[in-house]
Structure 1
Amino acid sequence: MSNFLTSTNHNPNKSIEVNQPPTDSVSSLSFSPKANFLVATSWDNQVRCWEVARNGVNVGTVPKASISHDHPVLCSTWKDDGTTVFSGGCDKQVKMYWDTRQPNPVHTQQLPERCYAMTVKHPLMVVGTADRNLIVYNLQNPQAEFKRIVSPLKYQTRCLAAFPDQQGFLVGSIEGRVGVHHLDDSQQGKNFTFKCHREGNEIYSVNSLNFHPIHHTFATAGSDGAFNFWDKDSKQRLKAMLRCNQPIPCSTFNNDGSIFAYSVCYDWSKGAENYNPATAKTYIFLHLPQESEVKGKPRIGATGRK
């Protein structure tokens, strides 16, 4: 039996616990691009916001606001000026913290299949749909598909993250694997995939991919209850963190990469029959990454002059 199933430690990495977490599983986490305000959406129909105050290694969290949807909330994101939060969910509504007075969307894009994941790093947008389609858009001309790619991974797309330089993207699947894909045809030789979030014969979903805003390394989080930091350029894992006793369904860096937020809770991947309300508690944690965990390293075996 794996340690994951027998472990009782929900916080083996001694992370900072966020006060007053949601009462059901967390579906998304997003930090304001301008300040340390963290938003979480949840299956309890709520969107919550906390202010994160940091003084050295001392971190405090204060609940600041919440809004309700009629059904579970699945995703959230901030406007780039940090003034507005958008959230969407099972009630087929997108909500904001303020009234735009504009009922019609600026643009609607028809997709070939159901949307499972999306990432935006303006002007690059990548949408992952069913049937392993990855559709790339240039948001300066959103009416036309820029490129359509079949996922380099054999199984269903779970998460996406655009490169900070907009030259490509990461894709994670339910099969414990990540693909690194460049958009330029001349860079295809740099594409590769790697396995992660596996323990022996147990294979877990990669649920979240987050680039560090300064070092441009990235984090993966999975249903095995672990999060790891990676460097795609040197193809190395920088740090493997200890596994929590429940899955990690979502995670995010703050705007300067000094705080990594992640949730620990049931992710519903094993269905309602494996949900045990007595043991399935919901947590949101804050990890303060050390530079050695998130700063890229030279490729192993590479030679160079100082």
Structure 2
Amino acid sequence: MMNEDKFYEVPELLTFGSKFPMLVLVVQPPSDSVSSLSFSPTANYLVATSWDNQVRCWEIDVRGENVNSMPRASISHDHPVLCSAWKDDGTTVFSGGCDKQVKMWPLLSGGQPMIIGMHDAPIKEMAWIPEINVLVTGSWDKTLRYWDIRQPTPLHTQQLPDRCSALAVRKQAMVVGTADKNFILFDLQNPQTEFKRFTTSLKYPARCIDVFPDQQGFIVGSIEGRVGVSHFDDSQKYKNFTFKCQRDGDDIYSVNSVHFHPVFPTLATAGSDGTFGFWDKDNKQKLKLLQRRCCLPITCSTFNTDGSIFAYSVCYDWSKGAANHNPATSTTSIVLYLPKDTEVKPKL
């Protein structure tokens, strides 16, 4: 069982204050809610997938305090797009969603997108696995499928106990969250076999997952405004805990995004309360917290490859249904924030 734990505050860094050091809006954002954001692993190219059936790419140029976003290209799906992933060489983008299609887009060469695979239900998650040169996709059809992008049929179809709700890959470790609150660890040296299953004390299914930088465990964000920290090794269970983040008094909001910083062993959370925060799980410190600044939920977020840019989307998350959606006020924005090292580096 996990224990509930508190994060110690770092007072001088707890809130952003009255002025933001650096916030930049991405130009020509999607016309509907953003479902995923992903940066190229080799350059500052940002891809967003959206409920408007589009996959869009911007080039982000940072020169000192001058930050510009330049739309580069876009492609369409037949229905809303839910996820994307980059090939490790930064040349190619993969996408999937409600049309059940796995698309490959040779973005940097200017090539046309092509369908390289299909699922039997919407595709919720995907990731490129560079160690074995394979794309993995997770679907609401209760399967994982591994794709050699040169072939139209999957290398392997892995049955899941329920719908795929979240997925994260880091080197040889992949963790998959399913709608029945199972978390399944795969050792990607043997990706066709489950390595281990976990449950957590979180009461609701996972919305987002990331694997520890040292591959010794994983973090989970759920709709209960809480993040669970779990270790793979049973001998480390005493280190497991949960902490509250997307809360405003008695109001509880979904944690929609959790990501470790690519340089420092700290993490970012963001959610439907319209805030994001930076945390040090090892020292249990809250490093930085955006205090209710966004007028709409943050649906997803990501770091660029060196952690110098934190991108997040502000838009309606549909948690209150279509009846509460006002197109006049529920506009979509993608925001770029340039964190200082002091905001994301552990405090000694």
TM (norm. structure 2) is 0.81
Mapping 1:145-294, distance limit 5 Å: 145-243=194-292, 244-294=294-344
Residue identity (%)? 69
Q: Trace 1:94-113 onto structure 2 (pairs within 5 A).
A: 94-98=102-106, 99=114, 100-113=149-162
- For 1:161-206, what per-residue CA distance to the aligned partner results, in whole angstroms no more than 9, with x for missing partners? 0111111100011000001111112211111101111111110000
Q: Which moved more, 1:12-21 or 1:218-227?
A: 12-21
Taking the aligned partners of 1:152 and 1:37, their CA distance within structure 2 comes to 37
Alignment map for 1:36-185 (pairs within 5 Å): 36-98=44-106, 99=114, 100-185=149-234
Give 3-state SS (helix, strand or coil) of 2:317's partner.
coil
Amino acid at match of 2:310: F
1:101-136 C-alpha deviation (Å, 9 max, x unpaired): 421122221101011111111211111111111111
CA distance in 2 between counterparts of 1:79 and 1:17 reads: 26
Secondary structure of residue in 2 paired with 1:237: strand
How big is each residue's C-alpha offset from its partner over 1:61-87, in whole Å with a ceiling of 9 and x where there is no partner?
100010000000001111111111111
Structural RMSD (CA): 1.3
Query: In structure 2, what is the equivalent of residue 304 of structure 1?
Result: none
CA distance in 2, matches of 1:81, 1:280: 36
Would the alpha carbon gap of residues 74 and 12 (structure 1) be closer, same or farther in structure 2, given more than 3 Å must change? Answer: farther
**Structure 2, gaps ≥5 residues long:** 1-17, 107-113, 115-148
Partner Cα distance (2:229, 2:201) in 1: 9
Cα distance in 2 between the residues matched to 1:71 and 1:12: 39
Q: Does the C-alpha gap of structure 1 residues 268 and 12 become closer, same or farther in structure 2, counting only changes over 3 Å?
A: farther
| Whole-Å separation in 1 of the counterparts to 2:76 and 2:279 | 36
**Which whole-Å CA distance do the structure 2 matches of 1:38 and 1:80 have between them?**
14
Q: Is the 8 A contact 2:25 2:336 kept in 1?
A: yes
DSSP 3-state at the match of 1:293: helix
Contact 1:29–1:41, Cα closer than 8 Å, also in 2: yes
Residues of 1 paired with 2:45 and 2:284: CA distance?
A: 32
Residues 270-289 of structure 1, C-alpha deviations (whole Å, 9 max, x = no match): 11111111110000000000
Q: Deviations over 1:215-269 (max 9, x none)?
A: 1200000100000000010011100013211000000000000000000000111
SS of structure 2 residue aligned to 1:250 = strand
How far apart in 2 are the matches of 1:12 and 1:23?
28
Aligned length: 288
Per-residue Cα deviation, 1:281-305 (whole angstroms, up to 9, x for no partner) = 000000000111100113xxxxxxx
Checking the alignment, whether the CA contact within 8 Å between 1:12 and 1:242 is kept in structure 2 is no
Tell me how far apart the structure 2 counterparts of residues 35 and 148 of structure 1 sit (CA, whole Å): 35
For the residue of structure 1 that corresponds to 2:180, the secondary structure is: helix
Taking the aligned partners of 2:19 and 2:35, their CA distance within structure 1 comes to: 22
Unaligned runs of at least 5 residues, structure 1: 1-10, 299-306
Match of 2:134 in 1: none
Q: CA deviation at 1:93?
A: 0.6
Question: Which whole-Å CA distance do the structure 1 matches of 2:193 and 2:150 have between them?
Answer: 28
